[in-house]
Structure 1
Amino acid sequence: MDTLGRAQLERMAGEPGLLAAVDQHAAALRDTVVLDRETLGDYLLGFADELRHLGWTFRGEPDAVSLRLTAICWLTHELGLLADESPA
């Protein structure tokens, strides 16, 4: 959330295209992953491990990977799955 999520969530408010792209990734996650803290967290850890293995880094512009990560952050925030956040 700190590395990519918060900044991307702020960008979504002013960029309808980014919001739509993230929403598509969030919909795909809703269809395939149980949206609870443990399952979504496990999904994120596996996804991040694969990204590290591939050497992926965020370059500042949205790509499929950053959109998926942003969707995870968005869902996490919207569902209040972080200990220090309440549902939006």
Structure 2
Amino acid sequence: MNDSPGSPLIDVVATYMPRLSEFSFEPGLVAAVDQHAAAVCDALLPAQRGPEVRTVRREDLADYVLGFTDWLTEVDWTEPVGHDFATLRLTAVCWLIREHDLLDA
């Protein structure tokens, strides 16, 4: 990944990308991650851009992740066994990184 050192995407990918392999074992996980990915896209891509323009930019996603992980730190979140809102959201970020080919962008 050609992100600058300290990019929040590097840590998210290292920690949560392996969870995508759980899709084949947990069909409900696919739906949950898809819903979270849609919510992230809605947050990143304002409606005025139009539905045909749904390109997720690495810089925007990095800013989103930074804000989200800062919030997790503020609320003293710890990663649980299994899936909660935060793990689903961060797994969805990894799915978006993969689907929009942002690993090598």
TM-score by length of 2: 0.72
Cα distance in 1 for partners of 2:17, 2:102 equals 15
Instruction: Work out whether 1:52 is the aligned partner of 2:73.
Output: yes
- How many residues of Structure 1 are paired with residues of Structure 2 in the alignment? 83
Cα distance in 1 for partners of 2:17, 2:98 equals 10
Instruction: Work out whether 1:72 is the aligned partner of 2:93.
Output: yes
Cα distance in 2 for partners of 1:76, 1:7 equals 13
2:52 equivalent in structure 1: none
Cα distance in 2 for partners of 1:22, 1:45 equals 19
Instruction: Work out whether 1:12 is the aligned partner of 2:23.
Output: yes
Q: Tell me which stretches of 4 or more aligned residues in structure 1 moved more than 3 Å.
A: none
Deviates more, 1:37-46 or 1:58-67: 58-67
**Structure 2 unmatched runs, 5+:** 1-12, 46-55
TM-score by length of 1: 0.84
User: Offset of 1:60 from its aligned partner?
Assistant: 2.2
**Structure 1 unmatched runs, 5+:** none
User: Offset of 1:39 from its aligned partner?
Assistant: 0.3
1:29 equivalent in structure 2: 40
Instruction: Note the aligned Cα RMSD (angstroms).
Output: 1.5
RCO comparison, higher one (Cα < 8 Å, 6+) = 2
* Larger radius of gyration between Structure 1 and Structure 2: 2
Identity, in percent, stands at 48
User: Offset of 1:53 from its aligned partner?
Assistant: 1.5
1:62 equivalent in structure 2: 83
